[in-house]
Chains A and B, each alone.
Chain A
Amino acid sequence: MTVTADYRTGLKPVWCAGCGNFGLLSALTRRALPNLGIPSHRVLIVSGIGCSSRIPAYVDTYGFNSIHGRAIAIAQGAKLAKPELTVIAVGGDGDLFSIGAGHLPHAVRRNIDITCIMVNNFVYALTKGQVSPTTPHLQRGEGPFLSPQFYPPVDPILDMVSYSASTGASLIAQGISSDVSHLQWLIEEGIKHEGFSYISVLTPCVVFSPPELSSTIREKASYLREGELVELPDSSTEKPWLHDPGNISLALRLAQVPLLEKPLLGIFFRGK
């Protein structure tokens, strides 16, 4: 068995300078995987299509850069066939929440032990800036009829908590690409968790997202810490409560906090 300290391949990433994917790559290859000490041949990273989905080529584990939206299906098949593998599925918001959205609830329902990392850059960036299911309403919509009034932004965290609430078995977390140490911790927790783990990574696009998106998220972000009071947005009339990731009802309330008013970072829910 060989454990390499650095899980990077020699390939140079195609991402733009300043892209949050570098943070994810670093959290994964320089920290989480070496920390966990999983031999590289025991790891499989499956991705779909999109900027973040180029990641398998840069990680010196088994990897498969598949087709748009299908990473989760392929990842589950590999895990079922070889349970001793550590299987990670990576995709973007368009990949996992638009074209591949049909696969997500079933992966959650089956609770097969894979870690799904959803890199949310709020936009279709590889195709140069079209609106995605997570694009905030402060950006131009899909067409003339799309307005904030009629089409409020999709909140992926809400969906995921709802999915896992129906199965009662999952791990749901959110990190941010600019905090690599925190992201590393979330990935480690996701990999260690026995069951389907879902980690959303906030990484506003450096090219196609408006600069205020990134600054808003960073300024308003708040970390969830077990046993400590959760921070709610100013607009909230609720009384803050002590964070308990084992409580799905509290997790559902957290998930309803609008992302742009109070981006919550940490583990929302950890099922048994």
Chain B
Amino acid sequence: MMKSVTIGIVGAGGDGVVVLGSYLQKLAASQGYFSQMLTYYGAQIRGGSSAAKLGLDAEHLSLPKDTLDLLVCFDWGKYSELRQELALGADTLVLYDNKPPGGIDLPQKAFQVGFSRESQELTGLTLDKNIVALGLLLRILALADDRVKEAIEEDRELKLLKENLLVLQAGQHLFSEASFSGLALSPARDVSAKVVLNGNAAVARGAIRAGCGAFFGYPITPAAEIMREMREELSLRNGVFLQAEDEIASAGLALGASLAGTKSMTGTSGPGFDLMTEMMGLFSAAETPMVIVDVQRCGPSTGIPSKPEQSDLNHAIYGGHGDAPRVVMAPYDVQGCYRLGIEGINIAQYFQTLVILLSDQWLGQGLVAISGDLLEEDYPIEERKRPAREDVDDYHRYRLTEDFISPMASVGDEGLVYQGTGLAHNDKGAPAFDFETHQRMHEKRWRKLMPLCQRDDLVKVFGKEKCSRGIITWGSSAQVVLETVKDLGLQNEVRVCVPELIHPLPGRIKSFLASTEKLLVVEMNYSGQFYHYLRSEMDLPEKTEVYARAGGRLFSRRELTGPITEVAR
């Protein structure tokens, strides 16, 4: 019995690779298994290579392993393109449709299973080969048959299986001469059904939870699912949704909605984020609440649209001309996407600021089965500071207050008419070009954000308090770092700091760095943007190493073993 199993599936686009992976994930989730699925695509959008790597876990949420326990291969040519992502070990069980060409070394346990032939015999077409394979996988993994049937009955998204039950059952009985008993999963520790979600959907649901009532976006990979989710959620709630003509307009429309008092958001990826830069300055100058989600992909320019990188940090922190303070946050897992979706909207409203949430392609699009408790918990929801009765008929939009946050009227409020602008302005919002006012407004906009530096809860520190060796990392890379530390059994030797709030720099990062003698910075961008940001804010330990490389491929445990072992030494 296995506590966790990592399964690879590969084929050509149209072979139903991702459908197979996500059905298996859903069926396992309905029986309480945690899981995380990574998907890989070749350069072509249709007809290219397609692979999924699904890690099922009976006890807790974990990453798929570097080496597969099981591979289902529909197409060896496509396998060759993605073999780096689908590493085989000596014990990997390989089930394939057609005989491999020369040059591919198969492990001992490799079997030709007629997925296509079986589909052809039952339906006259080879199309259902993925359903045949799903049936066989259900048997190999020993997922409970009656629960599978129940899930198929209940889950509308599994409708296709309901219609193809015969094919599924045929798959379950395929190749019955082999027992494959070694890969049976242990029963899930907690059998309550898990929720399958990707980060894009999670961040959207979080924002909705915090009261987001307007979304504007423009289609872009890999952020399109945010738009889809927001359209669905907002249509159920009588909210505002509009697909804009470009990302400048997305941000502009969102600004208009925000001025009118609606909690607004937009979501995009690198190239669209670039276009929003001029609006970022305006949000900052006019102190207008706004959330931009940037689902990072490889850059610069068009880069690699379907693969993750953590290279938009500089742009998020510094992008735009002039001194334009904003808040930059980065979730590192799907749960974080949901929590920071809420937190982002809250902070934007409370501080009347632009909040940039940096997600990435892996976080955004990778499907994860998590405990549904997260979605049920209570979360405090923040609202804007509203003008008081004495403000009526003598309203100063940018009135200086103790906490530098001025009460904000919504367009349409009686007695609170004001004129806002991206021009330098005085406390009434009227254009004012004298130095003293300009300086004072800068102070106001920067200082109002300072309380955020005390938000210790937005900086996660794992490991022993007294440890002098530390790793600091951010975003999805943190998942691989944390798992590698655990795999290596170094939890007592190194602390790992994962800030979800990156800018303004939280005090807890400062104290972590100050108490660390030997430091490793891990991030997925070529130039070490996070490292340089930290260095610009404070002195780093004398012994500081940086592990930074371009994105396009996820970090693996194997890859991080060297640098992590070194810092722990």
Residue ranges of A at the interface with B (Cβ–Cβ < 8 Å)? 1-2, 9, 11, 39-42, 44, 46, 54, 56-57, 59-67, 70, 73-82, 84-85, 102-103, 105-106, 110
Please measure, in the bound complex, the distance between the C-alpha atom of A76 and the C-alpha atom of B252, giving whole angstroms.
9
Q: Are B249 and A106 in contact (CB under 8 A)?
A: yes
Kindly list 15 other residue pairs between chains A and B, CB separation below 8 angstroms, not including A73-B249, A74-B259.
A44-B260, A44-B411, A59-B419, A66-B421, A73-B252, A73-B253, A74-B252, A76-B242, A76-B253, A80-B253, A81-B213, A82-B261, A82-B262, A82-B411, A105-B245
Assembly CA distance A156 to B423 (angstroms)? 28
Binary per-residue interface labels of chain B (319-332) against chain A in the complex, 1 for a CB within 8 Å, 0 otherwise: 00000000000000
Instruction: Determine if B562 is an interface residue (Cβ-Cβ < 8 Å).
Output: no
Report if B279 contacts A (CB, 8 A).
yes
Residue B416 at the A interface, CB < 8 A?
yes
* Interface: B414 (CB within 8 A): yes
A1-B414, A11-B430 known; A73-B256 Cβ under 8 A: yes
- Asked if B279 contacts A78 (CB within 8 A), the reply is no
What is the chain A residue whose CB lies nearest that of B415? A41
* Most chain B beta-carbon contacts within 10 A, residue among A74, A84, A110: A74
A-B residue pairs in contact (CB < 8 Å), sample of 7: A1-B414, A42-B412, A62-B417, A66-B255, A73-B252, A74-B259, A78-B411
Complex-state Cα separation, A39 to B422, whole angstroms: 25
CB pair A2–B414 under 8 Å, yes or no, is yes
Chain A residues within 8 Å of B278, by CB: 67, 70
Selected from A9, A85, A102, the residue in CB contact (under 8 A) with B411 is A85
How far, in Å, is A39 (CB) from chain B's closest CB? 7
Once bound together, how far apart are the Cα atoms of A77 and B261, in whole Å?
11
Q: Say yes or no: A9-B253 contact (C-beta < 8 A), given A70-B279, A73-B244, A77-B214.
A: no
Q: Are B214 and A60 in contact (CB under 8 A)?
A: no
| A residues in contact with B249, CB < 8 Å | 70, 73, 102-103, 106
Residues of A within 8 A of B259 (CB): 44, 62, 64, 74, 77-78
Question: In the complex the two chains form, is B421's CB within 8 Å of A65's CB?
Answer: yes
**Is A78 touching B282 in the complex (CB atoms < 8 A)?**
no
Report chain A residues within 8 Å CB of B242: 76, 80, 110
Bound Cα distance A11, B425 (Å):
13
Q: Which residues of A contact B286 (CB under 8 A)?
A: 64
Q: Determine the chain A residues whose CB is within 8 A of the CB of B418 once the complex forms.
A: 62-63
State whether B419 touches A63 (Cβ < 8 A): yes
In the assembly, what is the distance between CA of A202 and CA of B404, in Å? 44
CB distance from A267 to the nearest CB of B (A): 27
The CA of A76 and the CA of B257, in the complex, are separated in Å by 8
Is there contact, CB below 8 Å, between A82 and B260?
Answer: yes
A39 touches B282 (CB 8 A): no
On whether the beta carbons of A106 and B245 are closer than 8 Å, the reply is: yes
Contacting pair B419 A62 (CB below 8 A): yes
Cross-interface CB contact of A80 among B248, B257, B430, cutoff 8 Å:
B257
| Residues of A contacting B262 in the complex (Cβ-Cβ under 8 angstroms) | 81-82
Q: Are A73 and B248 in contact (CB under 8 A)?
A: yes
Q: Which residues of chain B are within 8 angstroms of A67 by Cβ–Cβ distance? A: 278-279, 281-282, 422
Q: Is the CB of A57 within 8 A of B412?
A: no
Q: Is the CB of B260 within 8 A of A85?
A: yes
Whether the Cβ atoms of B256 and A62 lie closer than 8 Å is no
B391: Cβ under 8 A from any A Cβ: no
Residues of B with C-beta under 8 A to A65: 419-423, 431
Q: Shortest CB–CB separation between residue A200 and chain B, in angstroms? A: 21
Considering the complex, give the chain A residue whose CB is closest to the CB of B409: A62
- What's the Cα separation between A74 and B256 when bound, in Å? 4
A62 to B415, CA, bound (A): 10
- CB neighbours (8 Å) of A60 from chain B are 417
Q: Chain B residues with Cβ under 8 A from A78's Cβ?
A: 256-257, 259-260, 411
Residues of B within 8 A of A80 (CB): 214, 240, 242, 253, 256-257
Give Cα A105–Cα B244 distance, bound, in whole angstroms.
12
Q: A60-B417, A80-B240 are in contact. Are A75 and B431 (CB under 8 A)?
A: no
Cβ 8 A contact of B430, one of A46, A57, A64, A79: A57
Cα distance A268–B490 in the bound complex, in angstroms: 76
Q: Which of A64, A74, A81, A106 contacts B214 (CB 8 A)?
A: A81
Q: Which residue of B lies closest to A54 (CB)?
A: B431
Measured between beta carbons, the chain B residues less than 8 angstroms from A66 are: 252, 255, 282, 421-422
Q: Which residues of B contact A76 (CB under 8 A)?
A: 242, 253, 256
List B355-388 residues whose CB lies under 8 Å from chain A. Answer: none
Query: Is B413 an interface position by the 8 A CB rule?
Result: yes
Q: Which residues of A contact B484 (CB under 8 A)?
A: none
- Chain B residues numbered 240-283 whose CB sits less than 8 Å from any CB in chain A: 240, 242, 244-246, 248-249, 251-262, 264, 278-279, 281-282
Are B416 and A103 within 8 A (Cβ)? no
Question: In the assembled complex, how far is the CB of residue B19 from the closest CB belonging to chain A, in whole angstroms?
Answer: 35
Residues of A within 8 A of B33 (CB): none
Nearest B-chain residue to A40, judged by Cβ: B417
A77 touching B422, Cβ below 8 Å: no
- Return the chain A residue nearest B254 by Cβ: A77
Q: Separation in Å of the A70 CB from the closest CB of chain B?
A: 5
Tell me if B411 and A39 are in contact (CB < 8 A): no
Give the shortest distance, in Å, between B423 (CB) and chain A (any CB).
Answer: 6
A95 to chain B, nearest CB (A): 13
